A = this chain, B = another copy of it.
């Protein structure tokens, strides 16, 4: 009836001991053999007792690998995700990793906990990690990160269109000397927003006047904007790759006695709570967090019906929220 290690051993042509070892992390066994055994075991639906315990422990838990919690957008994501999972009877575990840390170092730990799914918002998912997850039957969802070289699920805001919208809006406001404050250049959020933005400008016969690197932080953006605004050919508009950088831009402008929207227009991206605060009234592209999280939860919940290697990419439209800053 219930599959046993003996059956798996027979099927895989190895000893029972080998099967046991395949399921005990850290025991001495050829990785290839382990892989073969685990595959056979998966086919027969076999789990070792230890594995079953682990499954019970982690039943219904989802692991979030989050970086850059200094950006208020991500606590917001964390909060929303936690609540959404709660609503479907699941729990959220968070690995908060420092921005520069290597995700591969975390891999064993994350896999050992056997989450039913992995949601990644940190910088990058290595393909090694992705493969390891596939092998262990862990569904992976990239949130607000698109990675073309790896076959995983992804949910993101339409960053490209958002960038376009920002450009068209600024042009519509009559701005022509338009600057751009970027984040970290090898992230998809930066790349897509930047591309959409400059593409739309180009199509309208314009181009990006000046560029600064704000590193996705307040401080980074503040400095970058100060130098952009004190340069010879001062921009009359700035599109910032995320909201904290846009808020920093407003503050940097104020430092120079300039104010938005009179002296320059400023547009952000994310729509974090502070964007609506009275001292900023930031015009920004709102990411549809609730819908994004719904998608993520949907993908996770589909675990039972949809095969693991059938991956989906959801690109949800953002929305331009016009407030006072542009």
Chain A interface (Cβ within 8 Å of chain B)? 24-26, 49-54, 56-58, 61, 69-70, 72, 74-76, 78-79, 81-83, 86, 91-98, 101, 106, 109, 112-114, 218, 222, 247-248, 250-252, 254-255, 273-274, 277-280
Contact = CB atoms under 8 A, between A and B. Distances in A.
Contact of A278 (B58, B69, B109, B254): B254
A94 B94 contact: yes
Contacts of A49: 49-50
Contacts of A112: 56-57
A112 B58 CA distance: 9
Contacts of A109: 61, 91
Given A72-B75, A75-B75, A83-B98, 16 more contacts: A24-B53, A25-B56, A57-B57, A57-B58, A57-B112, A81-B96, A82-B95, A91-B106, A92-B94, A93-B93, A94-B94, A247-B277, A251-B278, A254-B278, A279-B279, A279-B280
A101 B91 CA distance: 13
A117 to B, nearest CB: 15
A75 B251 CA distance: 23
Instruction: Determine chain A's interface SS by DSSP, over half rule.
Output: helix
Contacts of A247: 277
Contacts of A222: 278
Nearest to A23: B53
Nearest to A87: B98
Nearest to A98: B83
A277 B95 contact: no
Nearest to A114: B57
A254 B93 CA distance: 40
Given A56-B25, A70-B273, A277-B218, A79 B91 contact: no
Nearest to A74: B75
Given A53-B50, A57-B112, A79 B86 contact: no
Contact of A50 (B50, B58, B98): B50
A114 to B, nearest CB: 8
Contact of A94 (B56, B93, B277): B93
Contacts of A53: 24, 50-51, 53-54
Contacts of A280: 279
Contact of A78 (B57, B76, B96, B254): B96
A218 B273 contact: yes
16 contacts: A26-B56, A49-B49, A50-B50, A51-B53, A58-B113, A61-B109, A61-B113, A69-B76, A70-B76, A72-B75, A75-B75, A86-B97, A92-B96, A248-B277, A251-B279, A252-B278
